Chains A and B, each alone.
Chain A
Amino acid sequence: MFDWLKEIINLLSTPSISFTLLAVIIPFVFPPTDWFEKWHRRLGLHHLWSIRGGWGLFGLITAFLVFGFFDENFGKILSKPDNVPIMMLIYFVFFFVWLSMHSAYANDARLARGEKVEEDYGPDEKVLVWPDLVYIELTALVLMTVFLIIWSVGLPAPLEEPANPSLSPNPAKAPWYFLGLQEMLVYFDPWLAGVIFPTFIIVGLMALPYIDDNPKASGYYSFANRRVSIFIFMFGFLALWIFLIVVGTFFRGPNWNFFGPFEEWSIAKVVPLTNVNLSEYVWVKLLRIGLPSHWLVRESVGIIMLLLYFGVIPVVLARGKLRGLVERLGPTSYALIIFLALAMVFLPIKMYLRWTINLKYIIAIPEAFFNI
């Protein structure tokens, strides 16, 4: 029963398809420009952030998970004790994205009517910490304690076989909050996926207040006043972090092969590895003269492409569309922003190059462990 539906969901979950869907949907859901805003309204997507839209989202996720639990294969994965936090994470992320956008739209509507935002009670409306805050804190603390006790009594912490360095489980997975990084390993070498990109994420987050020079909407929920920064954040948070964690947790089975949610994790599944380096594309398949022996010549095409990407695009944008940004921020801040942004977009670009032309590395210098 419902096999056709499971087949469809399996197919849609393929990273190339599900990521594309997500990447296309996000700008319409969190419209960064007027054009997207227009379609956001026309498609009725702003109803997502109404009360009814919230219940709709809730119902959809719950229906999917309940449906999943009754499936032999998906149920097995969902009921792993260490996957419980990820299910909570999915609910919480949806709920709080909804709640913040709900509040933001309400505030935007108030501002458009010339009213004060919901958080603005005026400077004289003060409450005493005792009792107004301490009782909330006490309630939150008691509820959290009860929640933890129920969770702990109901679900024993996992303990597998004793550690055995000679018996590697397949797949061997990092803790769930690092699975986004492990999923990146499909597309990048560990020095990028495990070291450079996490560093960029941390540096980028820390730099955020210094590069976002929009002074509006500080201290209250608002979307209209900061739609570009919210769009970028949502794309990074939802598509490049949460989504990759979900894929890494639920959809990666033995040999880190992709398995749809309703597919059995079979160790026998063989996915042919046909990935090709850019240098082979150019020298072998296109020019038919074989790989040059010196690495600099061999990788020259990839090096030039990356130089164009990280070096020329920022200059072109600075003279064109982003001229205003450069003038406001100065060249140093601009260079930092554009570099971080290009690095962030580099991940989906590489993902698509893999999915479309099976590209392995743009630059491949295995002699020096320098593969991009």
Chain B
Amino acid sequence: MAENKKPGFVDSVAKSQIWKSIFRTGIPVTRRQRMMGVLNNVFLHLHPVKLPKHAVKLKYTWCMGGLSFFLFLVLTISGILLMFYYRPTVEYAYTDIMDLSEQVPLGIMREIHRWGAHAMVIAVWLHMFRVFMTGSYKPPREFNWAVGVILLTLTLLLSFTGYLLPWDQLAIWAITVGSNMARATPFLGHEGPGASLLAIGDVNFVTMSSDIRFALLGGRFVGEGALLRFYVLHCVGLPFIVAILMAVHFWRVRKDGGISGPV
């Protein structure tokens, strides 16, 4: 290589004006270039430029936090693709899903999305488990642990809202079972303790058509309203909150002293 006087293809690309305008630091060969490469890239800049050695040991990190984030991205991309073909109405939802499996040759986007979602739930649990087992929730990282617990809950809710969308028997009955719990919410569900106290005379405020389950489902049972609500929550509402909290979560990892480790 070294004797080759003529600049090779890689070299000429790396020296071109286009390449240099995008990647300012050139091919990261020297220590300085490698550090600048991380610093100058908005995505890599999630990371510091240097890390303590244990932070790159798989035996310590299990890579579960990173995989949770990666799976979130996979689910976002495959989810966007699915949104092109899926209409959240009682009339079309099921047939659109059918079409995805029957009309698309080698189509695996729904599989990627579904199995990726299961994998994300597991990855998030294991990430929490790792953080617990290394005592990484201890000061100064208390707040970030709490943010992580909320993210875990939101991951489950994301998966739960997505479960309804295929609109098959599995979907509506799983959501029926799950959302039936909501009507027993104390004070806010019409079969919850204390709900009957929220009344003036004979007029109950918390009824079958005004309680928290009704708000969740947009109706008294899992129907058209629920499908639309779950769709909006699944595709826009919850990812929006998750994205904000992930930003907080990653930021705080850096601000709380980087990845945990023995002091």
Q: Contact residues of A with B, CB < 8 Å?
A: 82, 84-85, 88-89, 92-93, 96-97, 99-100, 103-104, 116-121, 123, 125-134, 136-137, 140-141, 144-145, 148-149, 151-153, 155-165, 167-169, 172-175, 177-178, 181-182, 189-191, 193-196, 202, 205-206, 208-210, 212, 214-222, 226, 230, 233, 237, 365, 368-370
Q: Are A162 and B169 in contact (CB under 8 A)?
A: yes
Residues of B within 8 A of A195 (CB): 181-182, 184-186, 189, 192
Most B CB contacts (10 A, CB to CB) among A129, A177, A202, A206 go to A129
Q: List chain B residues, Cβ under 8 A from A158.
A: 170
Given A173-B177, A191-B186, CB of A208 within 8 Å of CB of B137: yes
Give which listed residue, B60, B159, B183, B222, contacts A175 with CB less than 8 A: B159
Question: Is B247 an interface residue when CB atoms closer than 8 A count as contact?
Answer: no
16 contacts across the A-B interface (CB closer than 8 A): A89-B125, A120-B261, A121-B53, A137-B63, A144-B67, A144-B71, A148-B116, A172-B176, A191-B184, A194-B181, A194-B182, A195-B184, A195-B192, A219-B261, A221-B60, A221-B134
Give the residues in chain A near B114, CB-CB below 8 Å: 157
**Cβ B47 vs Cβ A369 within 8 A:** no
Query: Which residue in B58, B122, B139, B180 is a CB contact (below 8 Å) of A190?
Result: B180
A139 to chain B, nearest CB (A): 9
B70 on interface, CB distance cutoff 8 Å: yes
- Among A141, A144, A163, contact of B169 (Cβ-Cβ < 8 Å): A163
Query: Could you tell me if B98 and A119 are in contact, using CB atoms closer than 8 angstroms?
Result: no
How far is B224's CA from A163's CA once the two chains are assembled, in angstroms?
11
Does B108 make an interface contact (CB < 8 A)? Answer: yes
A129 to B146, CA, bound (A): 27
Pick from A161, A162, A178: contact of B156, CB below 8 A: A178
Per the bound structure, the CA–CA distance linking A222 and B134 in Å amounts to 7
Determine the main DSSP class of B at the interface with A.
Answer: helix
B242 to chain A, nearest CB (A): 16
Question: What residues on A are CB-neighbors of B191 within 8 Å?
Answer: 190-191, 369
Interface residues of B in 85-112 (CB under 8 A from A): 90, 94, 97-98, 101, 108, 110-112
Instruction: Please tell me if B119 contacts chain A, counting CB pairs below 8 Å.
Output: yes
Where chain A touches its partner, the secondary structure class is helix
Give the distance to chain B from A107, nearest Cβ to Cβ, in Å: 9
B13 an interface residue at 8 Å Cβ cutoff? no
Residues of A within 8 A of B70 (CB): 140-141, 144
- Interface residues, chain B, with chain A CB atoms under 8 Å away: 28, 31, 34-35, 37-38, 44, 47-60, 62-63, 66-67, 70-71, 74, 90, 94, 97-98, 101, 108, 110-112, 114-116, 118-119, 121-122, 125-126, 128-130, 132-139, 141-142, 145-146, 149-150, 153, 156, 159-160, 163, 166-174, 176-178, 180-186, 189, 191-196, 221-223, 260-263
Contact B52 A190 (CB under 8 A): no
The residue on B at minimum CB distance from A208 is B137
- Set of chain B residues within 8 Å of A88, measured between Cβ atoms: 118-119, 122
Q: Do residues B262 and A129 form an inter-chain contact, with CB atoms below 8 A?
A: no
Distance of A224 Cα from B128 Cα, bound (Å): 20
Complex interface: chain A residues within 8 A of B50 (CB): 126-129
Residues on the B chain within 8 Å of A169, using CB? 169, 173
Interface contacts beyond A130-B35, A202-B153: sample of 15 additional A-B pairs, CB < 8 Å, sorted by A: A140-B67, A144-B70, A155-B115, A156-B101, A162-B168, A165-B221, A178-B156, A178-B160, A191-B192, A191-B193, A194-B182, A195-B182, A202-B149, A212-B137, A220-B261
| Nearest neighbor of B62 in chain A, beta-carbon distance | A96
Contact across chains for B168 and A206 when beta carbons are under 8 A apart: no
| Count of A-B contacts judged by CB separation below 8 Å | 275
A129 and B48 contacting across the interface, CB-CB below 8 Å: yes
Q: Cβ of B195 and Cβ of A190 under 8 Å apart?
A: no
Q: Report the separation of the CA atoms of residues A226 and B135 in the bound assembly, to the nearest whole angstrom.
A: 9
Contact of A130 among B38, B94, B193, B195 (CB under 8 A): B38
Contact of A100 among B128, B130, B168 (CB under 8 A): B130
The answer for the CA separation of A120 and B260 in the assembled complex, in Å, is: 11
Q: Are A96 and B129 within 8 A (Cβ)?
A: yes
A158→B130 CA distance, assembly (Å): 31
Most buried by A among B37, B108, B159, B183: B108
Task: Give the chain B neighbours of A97 by CB distance below 8 A.
Answer: 129
In the complex formed, the residue of B with least CB distance to A125 is B53
Q: How far is the CB of B50 from chain A (nearest CB, A)?
A: 4
Partner of B136, one of A128, A219, A237: A219
Q: Which residue of B lies closest to A205 (CB)?
A: B149
> In the complex, are the beta carbons of A129 and B174 less than 8 A apart?
no
Closest B residue to A135 by beta carbon equals B56
Determine how close the nearest CB of chain B comes to the CB of A183; give it in whole angstroms. Answer: 12
CA of A127 to CA of B261 in the docked complex: distance in angstroms?
A: 14
Chain B residues lying within 8 Å of A182, measured Cβ to Cβ, are: 177
Nearest-Cβ distance from residue B150 to partner chain A, whole angstroms:
8
Q: Is the CB of B262 within 8 A of A120?
A: yes
A345 to B70, CA, bound (A): 37
Q: Which residues of B contact A205 (CB under 8 A)?
A: 128, 149
